Amino acid sequence: MPSPNKTLFASVILAAITGAGSGWYASQYNQESVDHRLRPPIAVLNYVDALKGAPEDVDRIMVSLDAKASKLADAGFLVINGSAVVAYPDHMRVPAGSDDE
């Protein structure tokens, strides 16, 4: 049977390791949360591309894109105009089609 001192020592070591691991995990989780708030997801709307070839639908397309931009902003996205962006990943592009996309 182990002595009470060895058991106490093992318990203290185990508690210290558990506490250190929990503290590290909590700090990592908190940092990710802060990073997300400081850097919101980005959506790119390209008005120029959306309006190409459809001069008769300009008003409808503009209203649709503005509605999409508002919905995305309400969901926490930073919405930028693609005509002012030099390059961006395709997954950030918002389709110019109907509101259902």
State yes or no: pLDDT of 1 exceeds 70.
no
Residues 13-35, buried b or exposed e (16+ Cβ, 10 A)?
eeeeeeeeeeeeeeeeeeeeeee
**Same domain, residue pair 5 and 35:** yes
**Predicted pLDDT at 51:** 79
**Same domain, residue pair 86 and 70:** yes
Single pTM value for the model: 0.53
State yes or no: pLDDT of 73 exceeds 80.
yes
**Domain membership of residue 50 as a residue range:** 42-92
**Same domain, residue pair 30 and 51:** no
Would residue 98 count as lying in a domain? no
**Same domain, residue pair 47 and 86:** yes
Mind listing the pLDDT tens digit for each residue in 2-51? Answer: 677 777 777 888 888 888 877 777 777 666 665 566 778 888 888 888 77
The mean of the pLDDT values for the chain is 78
**Same domain, residue pair 70 and 83:** yes
- Distance, in Å, from the CA atom of 18 to the CA atom of 39, rounded to the nearest integer, reads 32
